[in-house]
Chain A
Amino acid sequence: MSTSPGHEKIEKTLNDNKVVLFMKGTPSFPQCGFSARSVAILKEVGVEFDTVNVLEDDEVREGIKVYGQWPTIPQLYVDKKLVGGSDIMMEMFESGELKTLFSN
């Protein structure tokens, strides 16, 4: 199995937290419009989530792109599985799928 930089840190985060948003900045101070939108969606759904600010850790910033083979940030993980970026989150929010995902 290939390991990327930051692989272990990412795995530990995902093991410890059910809902994780890898984002630029923090929920209070997002550093990118797409990250801000993702936080807003999760708050609207009302789920508890943890965030990782990739701008504070270059290994995680690069590693997360390799980890789920997804080249952009933000990225939402639920139960260690990549759900998608902000477009997919928005689509799933509008269709109600996101709410269903968290109610299970």
Chain B
Amino acid sequence: MTHTEMENTLKKQYPKAELAVIDVTGSGSNFEVRMNNSAFDSSLSRIDKHKSIMGLFDEQLKSGEIHALSIKLF
């Protein structure tokens, strides 16, 4: 999975978000997602925001295709 594919998946789910996906090691398995907090429903807790992002990549996380997914909300 490429960082562009991940960005497209995220944009589909959060059309108004400012977001960036960084391929941390350049190996296609270690990513950092950066997104603005205001893209989420404000009633969601921090842990639920992280879960909702990780949920989009559940299959890749389970298979090990994505080894690490770091999430930075600002």
Q: Give chain A residues whose Cβ lies under 8 Å from the Cβ of B46.
A: 84, 88, 91
B51 and A72 form a contact (CB under 8 A): no
Task: Give the residues from 7 to 65 in chain B that come closer than 8 angstroms, CB to CB, to chain A.
Answer: 46-47, 50-51, 54, 58, 61-62
Question: Is A83 at the interface (CB under 8 A from chain B)?
Answer: yes
Bound-state Cα–Cα, A45 to B72, Å: 21
B47 and A87 form a contact (CB under 8 A): no
A88 and B58 form a contact (CB under 8 A): no
B72 and A88 form a contact (CB under 8 A): no
A71 and B58 form a contact (CB under 8 A): yes
Q: Which of A83, A84, A87, A91 has the most CB of B within 10 A?
A: A87
Known: A71-B58, A71-B62. A84 touches B47 (CB 8 A): yes
Bound-state Cα–Cα, A91 to B74, Å: 10
Interface range for B = 10 to 19
B interface, over-half SS: helix
Task: Give the residues from 38 to 84 in chain A that come closer than 8 angstroms, CB to CB, to chain B.
Answer: 69-72, 82-84
Question: Is B71 at the interface (CB under 8 A from chain A)?
Answer: yes
Bound-state Cα–Cα, A71 to B50, Å: 11
Q: Report A's interface with B, CB cutoff 8 A.
A: 34, 69-72, 82-88, 91
Can you pick out 23 interface pairs between chain A and chain B where the beta carbons lie within 8 Å of each other? A34-B68, A69-B51, A70-B51, A70-B54, A71-B54, A71-B58, A71-B61, A71-B62, A72-B61, A72-B68, A72-B69, A82-B47, A83-B47, A84-B46, A84-B50, A85-B50, A87-B50, A87-B70, A87-B72, A88-B46, A88-B47, A91-B46, A91-B73
